[in-house]
Amino acid sequence: MYTIIERQDLLPKVHLLKIQAPKVAAAAAAGQFVILRVDTEGERFPLTIADWDAQAGTVTVIYMEIGVSTRKLAKLGKGDAILDFAGPLGKPTEIENFGTVVCVSGGFAMATIVPIARAMKEAGNRVISIVGARSKDLFFWHDRLTKYSDEMIVCTDDGSAGIKGLVTEPLRDLLSSDTKLDRVIVIGPSVMMKFCSKTTQPFGVKTIVSLNPIMIDGTGMCGCCRVSL
C-alpha cells in the first residue's frame, strides 16, 4: 500500500496527490509515469510523474476527474492509501545541454511540462516556456514553471491573461526571430501538438511531442500503446 501524505485541489476536478513511494522516487526522471490502482476492484491507469523527492521518498501526481477510477481516487485524502503504484515507467525525456529549449504546454499539460523544464534548466539550457489555456482560471503551477523559465509567454483563448490567441503564434514568432532554437518540446491536446509540429517543421528545429495512447502493461511489450505515423 502507498500512503497519501498530501492532497491539494488545484482547480475544480483537478487534484494533486503526494504519495509515499520511496523506490519510485529514487528512480524517477522527467517524462516518466506510474500506473496505479486504487483498490482491488479498480482498474489500472497511468498518470504522469509531476514531481518527486528522492530524499523524502515521495512522488507527486496531478490528475483530472474524468472517469470512474479518477473519481474514486478523488475521494481519497491525506492518510488514505493506494493499493498499487508501479513505476517509474516509460522512456525519460532526453535531457542534455542543447542550448535554447522551448517548452510548450496546452490545456492541463502543466503537470508534465514542469519537470521537463526543470530538468532542462538544471542541465544548463536557456528555457523559454509557452503556456496556453482557454482562460486564466484554468492555469495551475504557473509559478513553478516561471521558476524554471528564462522567458515565460502566456496565451489564452479569451484574452484573460497574456496574449489572446493560440500557442502557435508566439512559437512562430520565436522561430522567425534571431533567437536560435535548439529544441522544442510540446505537450497538450493532440491538435495543438500537431499544429506546433507543423509550425516548427519548415525551420528544421527538432520537435518532441508527448502522445497519450491506450495503455495496458505500461512497458510496451503488448504493443497496444504503439503509434503508427
Instruction: Tell me if 196 is assigned to a ligand binding site.
Output: no
pLDDT of residue 189: 84
Please give the full DSSP string across 19-54, using - where no structure is assigned: EE-HHHHHH--TT-EEEEESSTTSPPEEEEEEEEET
Are 76 and 15 spatial neighbours (Cβ–Cβ below 8 Å)?
no
* Average pLDDT estimate for 20-31: 95
Per-residue pLDDT of 1-11, as tens digits, reads 899 999 999 99
In the chain, where does the domain assigned CATH 3.40.50.80 lie? 100-209
Among all chains, which residue has been given the C-alpha cell 474524468?
Answer: 66
pLDDT of residue 142: 87
Query: Residue 214 — very low, low, confident or very high, per pLDDT cuts 50/70/90?
Result: low
Q: Which CATH class is domain 2-89?
A: mainly beta
In the chain, where does the domain assigned CATH 2.40.30.10 lie? 2-89
Single-letter amino acid, residue 10: L
Q: How far is the C-alpha of 68 from the C-alpha of 59, rounded, in Å?
A: 23
Instruction: Tell me if 103 is assigned to a ligand binding site.
Output: no
pLDDT of residue 217: 52
pLDDT of residue 221: 54
Q: With 60 as the cut, is the pLDDT of residue 225 above it?
A: no
Helix (H) or strand (E) holding 100: strand 100-106
Cα-based angle 45, 144, 54 (whole degrees, multiple of 5): 60
Per-residue pLDDT of 180-189, as tens digits, reads 999 999 998 8
Q: Which residues contact 123 (CB under 8 A, 6 or more apart)?
A: 95, 96, 97
pLDDT of residue 27: 96
pLDDT of residue 139: 86
Bond from prior residue into 88 cis (ω within 30 degrees of 0): yes
Per-residue pLDDT of 45-82, as tens digits, reads 999 999 999 999 999 999 999 888 899 999 999 999 99
Span 100-209: which CATH code? 3.40.50.80
Q: With 70 as the cut, is the pLDDT of residue 108 above it?
A: yes
Per-residue pLDDT of 117-166, as tens digits, reads 999 999 999 999 999 988 888 888 888 999 999 999 999 988 888 889 89
pLDDT of residue 107: 78
Cα-based angle 62, 189, 108 (whole degrees, multiple of 5): 25
Q: With 70 as the cut, is the pLDDT of residue 226 above it?
A: no
Cell numbers found for residue 133: 489555456
